[in-house]
Each structure stands twice: as C-alpha cells, then as structure tokens.
A and B are shown apart, each in its own frame.
Chain A
Amino acid sequence: MSLPEINTWRLVRKQHAFKLKSYAGMYTSLMAIQVIGMLFSLGGVSSGGVSGDEHSIEFRTYSSNVVIAFTFLWAFISSILITTRAYRNDDFTFVTNRLTSNLSNLLFLLSASVIAGITSIMTGNVNKVIAYFFYESDYIIATDITFQGLLMGTFVTILYIFAFAACGYLVGTIVQFHKLFIVVIPTLIIGSMFIGTNTHDTSLLLVWIMDTYGKETSILLFVLKMIGTVGLLFLLSITLSNRMEVKQ
C-alpha cells in the first residue's frame, strides 16, 4: 500500500504553530516570573551610600539583571516541563513522530526564548522608568546605550535563555528515561558546583563556563560557541528520546 509522502518540515512547522497556541501557559508563567523579578529589583539591584557633614549621597543601580536571571530559571524549568509525559502525549494525540516532536519543541523553545529575551530587556528599562518617577533623586546617570548595543544585548540574552532551555530540555529528557535521574541529576549539578572550591574561590565548572562563554570577547566566536553548545544539547536529547515509548 503506498501512502502519500509526509513532508517532515511542513509537519514540524504545523506542530510549532500548534505549540505556540497550546503552550500558552508558558507565557503566563514568563510574565509572572518577570514581574516578580521586577519587584525584586525595584529598590535597585545594588545600593550604597556615603555621607559627609553636610551631604549624604545614596546611590542605587537599576538594571534588568535580576529579571534576566529569573528568566534563565524560567527557561530551564519550562523546558523540563515540556519533556514530561503529559506534554509528550499531547504531541502524540495528532500526527507526529519523536523527531518532529523534538524539532517542534526546539522551535517553540527558540520562539519562547526570543520573546523572553526581549521582554526581560524591556522590563529592565521599565524599572529605570519607575525609578525616575517614583524615587526622589537628583541625578540619574544612565549608561549610554546605542540602539545597536541594545540589540546586541538582547541578542546575547536570547542566546543565553535558549542555552538554559536546551539544558533544561536535556535534563528533562534524561529524567524521562528513568525516574532515578530526578535524584541523580540535581546531585551531580550541585556536586559539580563544589568541585575545585578548595583550591579556587569558585567551582571549576563555573570557572570553565565563565571562561568559555562569559569572557569571550569576539561576538562571532561567542555566537558560534553558543549555537554549537545548544545544538549538541538538543542532539543529545533527540537521540535519547528517539526510542522512548509514549502513552504508557
């Protein structure tokens, strides 16, 4: 019996469109977490003060750092969430196989990362505006941000968010393999934070991550490293889940 050929990419795009609608809960949780992040940073992410005889100086810095950090966490957890059984079974309600399901998840996480990146940068600026209106202050020193700089910042943020998502996705996929990993993985992650802390101030893993990504000065190299890493993480997830059973 000959059946019509299925265009994989067309199906992936259909699934992506479906997920953009059906995973609406993700946007709500994103909003919630960014509002929380914003509230945390309302008073300034850092503050200090100097006081003399006649004058006292109090300064606060405002940035979107807290919001962005919260967004990383959101990306990580949300990605774990969409690897869970309930979400996988959703996929298999309609036409799919494991590859297209994973690819459309990847596309969804990318879309979500873009949205999350843009909104997190924006909320950072909202903070500054709030500070301008609500705090009695004499001076506001804003770092000059060119439009290009803003774009670049957003782009890098998106990449980081996507990388966190990729990590979460892999962790979620591994956990789906065996429930034991729910215990093993956090242990490994937390454990690795301490490796090397005897001789260094921070763990070797964090140092390595900072060295590889954070201290990269060439934007091109940074982007390549990020894409490579994210690609590798997703490839691992896809390979792992390709033989996984659904609807158990």
Chain B
Amino acid sequence: MNVIECKGLTKAYGRRQAIRNLSFTIEENKITGLIGRNGAGKTTLLKVIAGFFRKTSGEVHVFSYQPFNNLKVSANMIFIDDNITPPTALNLQELLESAASFYNNFDMELAKRLFDYFSFHPKQTHQSLSKGMKSTFNVIVGLAARCPLTIFDEPTTGMDSAVRRDFYRALLKDYIEHPRTIIISSHLLDEMDDMLEDILLMKEGQVLLHSSVLDLQEYAIAVSGNKQVISNWTKTKEVLYKKDIGVGNTYVVVRNELNELDKQQAHIEGLEISPVSIDDLSVHLTSNDKGGIDDVFTRD
C-alpha cells in the first residue's frame, strides 16, 4: 500500500524549478528520512505533499487523493516544522486541547506525559518559549496526533542533543506501538539513521536515491592507503569521493561492488577498508561540482 505517489512531479516558482520531475512512492508504515543539502527542495516537496503548495505539473497522490486543498488528506496528515506560530491568545494547555479537537487519533495521555517530562507549564504561551522548547512542543503535538501520515520538517531545530535523543527515542517507541507513515527531513542524519527504514536523497530538486537504510549502509565503501596502489585499484571502480591525505596517501569512497576476495586482496596490498556512514555517503553524493571547501582555499 502506497501512502505517497509522485510521478513526474514538478513545482516551479516562476522560472525556478524547486523540484523537478520527481517520481517515487512511499509505502505505508515506513519511517523515511528525507535528506539533501540546503535548497535541494525538501521543504517544497513536503509542502506539496501536505497540500499547502500547488504542484506545477506531474502527479502527486497522498492516500490516493490529490493533496492540494483536500480535507481528507489534511485530516489524516500533520505537518510539523519550526515555523509553527500558534495563536498568541492560547496557552500551551489550550493548544494541546485544540489539537486534540482536530485530530481524531490524538492521544492526550501521551501528550500530557511528554509535556510533563519536558517540563512545560500549561499556562506558558508558545511565543514565550525558547527556540528549542518550541520545537519540542511542536513534536509533542506531532507525535500525539498519531496521524497516518506524519511529516517532520527539520523538527529538531534548536533542541539540545539530550532532547533530540529523547525525541528520536519517543518517536521510535510510539511508532513501534502505533505504526504509521512518517517522513523526517533533517540534516542530522548521523543521529537518526538507525531509526529510519528508508532514505530519500534529494539533490537540486530531484531524487538522487531512494533506498532502504540497510542497502545504503553497504552502498559504498571507503578505502585508504598508498596513492599509487589506490589509483591502480580504483581504475575499474566507481569513485564517489576522493581526498588526498598528506603527500603519499589517498582516501577514496567507491561503490561497494567488492566481493570477499577483492577485500582480502586490498587488505594484503595494505589498503585500509572501512564502512561509509550514510551521512558521509549523502554528503559525497550531493556534493556540488565545484569541488570541496578545500578548493576554495587553494590558490593556484
């Protein structure tokens, strides 16, 4: 069962295409991480899915409905980002009650327990909270709403690392008890890749990769060692990233198409093989063509 289906989806602002010709499907009850550099089009995509933005062309279906202006999609979806500015007249307690009145599955018990755990006060107002506390309150609403489609767009902005860890844990525990489709966009992939099932990697408005975390963890492999040995060794391989270390050494990331024998051979030749974290991989895959930051400082 697919919750989200996109086919050739494009969203343009004037001439600039924020997302272009996207095609992918997201299955029911999976946690998907939406990853990409700043400006890759993640938020635009999420807002088209949420029904806030109108698509320019192509197809987008959420629960097999067109999301724009669709009440059913809205009622079964919650979108949490760091731009939420609830009405100033309501305090936190009233905001929770309002959310509960709108979302059928809202679990007030859970919301209250998280609310107390993170030391919120019912009479506080949202605008009086610090940035991290705002984000924390928003994700409490997002979790407790238990929407069949839960979208978190950069939910951890401003949270300290202890709170982030608590949030990931809370999300996972609640997901295990109440499986649902969850999309999280974040730059902190290292912190949460264990929690994800799938990853949707975007670059310049397009889907670069859509794959399970398990596969991505073995998508690439890093090899380091003598420059000459490496350059021989990588002739037949797809190099994703390359960096010189000192004078005689090189670190390369290649597509992991090696068999056991290849690896042993590499080992015997004195090459160091190590896995590549998904976070590093996504940085390598989405790097622009202008080289790395080092090239900015290289004057020759």
Contacts and interface: CB of A to CB of B under 8 A. Distances in A.
Check whether chain A touches chain B (CB < 8 angstroms): yes
Interface of A: 1, 3-6, 8, 11, 14, 17-18, 21-25, 86, 89-90, 92-100, 242-243, 245-248
Given A1-B63, A86-B85, A94-B102, A247 B47 contact: yes
Interface string B144-171: 0000100000000000000000000000
Given A1-B3, A6-B75, A247-B52, A22 B70 contact: no
Given A3-B63, A94-B103, A246-B52, A25 B76 contact: no
Contacts of B79: 92, 247
Nearest to A87: B87
A17 B36 CA distance: 40
B72 A22 contact: no
Contacts of A24: 89
Contacts of B102: 14, 18, 94-95
Given A1-B63, A245-B54, A95 B74 contact: yes
Contacts of B50: 247
7 contacts: A4-B104, A14-B102, A90-B85, A94-B103, A95-B102, A96-B71, A243-B69
What's the dominant secondary structure at chain B's contact region?
Answer: loop
A245 B85 contact: no
Contact of A1 (B64, B85, B89): B64
B274 to A, nearest CB: 42
A98 B53 CA distance: 12
Contact of B89 (A17, A22, A98): A22
Given A3-B63, A94-B98, A95-B102, A242 B69 contact: yes
Contacts of A94: 98-99, 102-103
Nearest to A26: B89
B103 A11 contact: no
B234 interface: no
A93 B86 contact: yes
A245 B52 contact: yes
Contact of B1 (A1, A21, A95, A247): A1
B74 A97 contact: yes
A23 B70 contact: no
A40 B87 CA distance: 32
A97 B69 contact: yes
B88 interface: yes
Given A14-B101, A95-B102, A22 B75 contact: no
B84 interface: yes
B147 to A, nearest CB: 9
What's the dominant secondary structure at chain A's contact region?
Answer: loop
A11 B70 CA distance: 13
B71 A100 contact: yes
Closest 8 CB pairs of A and B: A22-B87, A24-B89, A94-B102, A247-B52, A95-B102, A95-B75, A6-B71, A97-B71
B144 to A, nearest CB: 13
A25 B89 CA distance: 7
A26 to B, nearest CB: 9
Contacts of A96: 71, 74
Given A93-B86, A97-B74, 18 more contacts: A1-B63, A14-B101, A18-B98, A21-B89, A21-B94, A23-B89, A25-B89, A89-B85, A92-B52, A92-B79, A94-B98, A94-B102, A95-B71, A95-B102, A97-B71, A247-B47, A247-B52, A247-B53
Contacts of A17: 101
A24 to B, nearest CB: 4
Contact of B90 (A21, A95, A98, A242): A21
B83 interface: yes
A23 B88 CA distance: 8
Contacts of A246: 52
B138 to A, nearest CB: 9
Contacts of A6: 71-72, 75
Interface in B157-204: none
A29 to B, nearest CB: 12
A39 to B, nearest CB: 26
Interface in B74-117: 74-76, 79, 83-90, 94, 98-99, 101-104
Contacts of A5: 72
